[in-house]
Structure 1
Amino acid sequence: MASAPQQPQLPLFFNDLMPLNSRDHANYKSRTLETAPWLAKAHAIPLTVDEFVQAQRNFPIVFSTGENPLPLALMGLNEGFNTFVDKDGKVSDPVYIPAYIRRYPFMLAKLQQDTDQLSLCFDPTSDAVGEFDEGRPLFENGESSEATKQILEFCQNFEAAAQRTQAFLQQIKEADLLMDGEVTIQTDGDDKPFVYRGFGMINQEKLQALSDEKVAEFNKSGLMMLIHAHMFSLDNMRTIFSRQIQQGWKPAPLATDGAANA
């Protein structure tokens, strides 16, 4: 259900990536769009630890599977179903929007693999950036505009949060706290339940077995708060499932070996 978003070359949502520069994009503007068609069928969105407390109010927070897990906010439980976005890509209810979504179509990326330097890039296929009559100019008199500076700052903050997220993941992996997750949802009138697998979650038994010293360390660093936000968020699984049913999701024949994969 919550495998890491699969993109062989580009991150989730990006169709192309181009470095922003004043020579080629002197007349480009950035504009706000009311719809995001690229989000309509995205159900698992990467999340940073900075967002756990806000996101856990709306979404289940789980971890992708594999050797390099990452936190995911589930906007739907089944692949291709986002319960917070209509078919046109318009957010249907007031909800926290993860920073990964808000930064699109911009991101910081390496232009050369042998350097750690990151450059501000954008997806040129996006309707949010281009030579428009409306919008905020990205360059003024050959220099970065205030809009570009704000975009750059947002992307830099996102990268810093991503580093903190990796540190969090490293700590919970070293403590061997991650386990394969499973959630069973029984609906009225059905003999067999829906069983969701394919994601990671914190092992509560191992968490409770931590030494007093490790618990104190986790409390002091704030890591325990993040773990609890994740655990509390799992109650939203049934809420998201109900949203899918209300929005017309028609389940396949029920089976106990897993009802959905991402």
Structure 2
Amino acid sequence: MASAPKASLPVFYKELIPLNSNDHGDWNARTVDKAPWVAGQHAVPLTVEEFPSAQRNFPIVFSAGDRSVPLALMGLNEGVNVFFDEDGAPRDDTPPYIPAYIRRYPFLLAKLDQNSDNLSLCFDPSSDLVGKFDEGHPLFTGDKEPSEHVKGLLQFCEKFEEAGNRTQLFMKELEDHDLLMDGEIAINRADNPEQPFIYRGFRMVNQDKLRELRGDQLRKWNENGLLPLIFAHLFSLDLMRNIFARQVEIGKGPQGMTAGANAAPAETAKKKK
């Protein structure tokens, strides 16, 4: 249901090349009202700074497996996104909060030399968002200096990296205190209440272990802002039922797909116990 991004290239990115004035001095960056790279993407990485905003629209879970990362669920099944259609246009008149990971594409900061800590601004050339277009924002000035648009992109990507580092520290705290457990949620359909659908394949905070933490640890987390992040995650889990209902509404509910490990009728799950 919620697997970690592939190690080779991050989610969305097919290629990466460094932005430079010699090769891209006369290139522009397009502004679009659709995000086709999001279509069919059911889970998007999230930073801890985004929890307060994201938890209003999405269930916030953690990827399964080692080195879990926070994810905003836009659907409960692979290939299903209830907020964006097949062209990447918002399905609603009022779009949801757009995670920074989506807004960053096709740019990101990456190491060109693994022996150095320096990061360079790179982009995905397959995106069709950067190129020799007549329209768009220039990437460089006539003197081959970074344009104001590129400076803004660089600043955004730098802040994203900083937020990513803080997110790693947050995840380390959860792991060090053994607070993450395998998640499971059962959702009943009104037309078949006796056979709920079971969703697995993600991790969540174990509330029993959270209640067992020492008072001084909870006070520390409350002071440094970590405790509110945990509660934002826990409160957001109720939205899974909203996502399920939206899948049914757009014709991608259980009746429209093959039940598998990620969406199996309860009676099937019982046989596995």
For the criterion TM > 0.5, the same-fold answer is yes
Whole-angstrom CA distance in 2 between matches of 1:61 and 1:181 = 12
Deviations 1:81-108 (A, max 9, x none): 0000111111222210000000000000
Whole-angstrom CA distance in 2 between matches of 1:97 and 1:142 = 32
Give the 5 Å matches for 1:32-51.
32-51=31-50
Identity of aligned residues (%): 56
Whole-angstrom CA distance in 2 between matches of 1:13 and 1:242 = 26
Matched with 2:22 is 23
User: Which amino acid is 1:244 matched to?
Assistant: Q
2:176 to 174, 177, 194: 174
**By how many angstroms is 1:8 displaced?**
4.4
User: Which amino acid is 2:258 matched to?
Assistant: A
- Aligned to 1:113, what secondary structure does the other structure show? coil
1:197 to 193, 200, 204: 200
Deviations 1:49-83 (A, max 9, x none): 00000000000000001120000000001100000
**By how many angstroms is 1:23 displaced?**
0.5
Give the 5 Å matches for 1:6-17.
7-17=6-16
Residue 96 in structure 1 maps to residue 102 in structure 2: no
Whole-angstrom CA distance in 1 between matches of 2:189 and 2:179 = 30
Which has the larger displacement, 72-81 or 86-95?
A: 86-95
Whole-angstrom CA distance in 1 between matches of 2:4 and 2:242 = 22
Normalised by the length of structure 2, the TM-score is 0.92
Give the 5 Å matches for 1:125-140.
125-140=126-141
**By how many angstroms is 1:207 displaced?**
0.4
Matched with 1:242 is 245
User: Which amino acid is 2:86 matched to?
Assistant: K
Residue 188 in structure 1 maps to residue 190 in structure 2: yes
Whole-angstrom CA distance in 1 between matches of 2:70 and 2:222 = 20
Matched with 2:265 is 255
Whole-angstrom CA distance in 1 between matches of 2:61 and 2:21 = 40
Whole-angstrom CA distance in 1 between matches of 2:245 and 2:191 = 15
Matched with 2:125 is 124
Matched with 1:57 is 56
Stretches of structure 1 that go unaligned for 5 or more consecutive residues are none
Matched with 1:206 is 209
Whole-angstrom CA distance in 2 between matches of 1:162 and 1:18 = 21
Deviations 1:131-167 (A, max 9, x none): 1000010000210000000000000000000000000
Which has the larger displacement, 28-37 or 194-203?
A: 28-37
Whole-angstrom CA distance in 1 between matches of 2:235 and 2:67 = 23
Deviations 1:206-252 (A, max 9, x none): 00111011111110110000000000000100000000000011143
User: Which amino acid is 1:166 matched to?
Assistant: Q
Paired residues in the alignment total: 257
Stretches of structure 2 that go unaligned for 5 or more consecutive residues are none
Whole-angstrom CA distance in 2 between matches of 1:147 and 1:96 = 23
Deviations 1:178-202 (A, max 9, x none): 0100000011222311100010000
Whole-angstrom CA distance in 2 between matches of 1:74 and 1:26 = 38
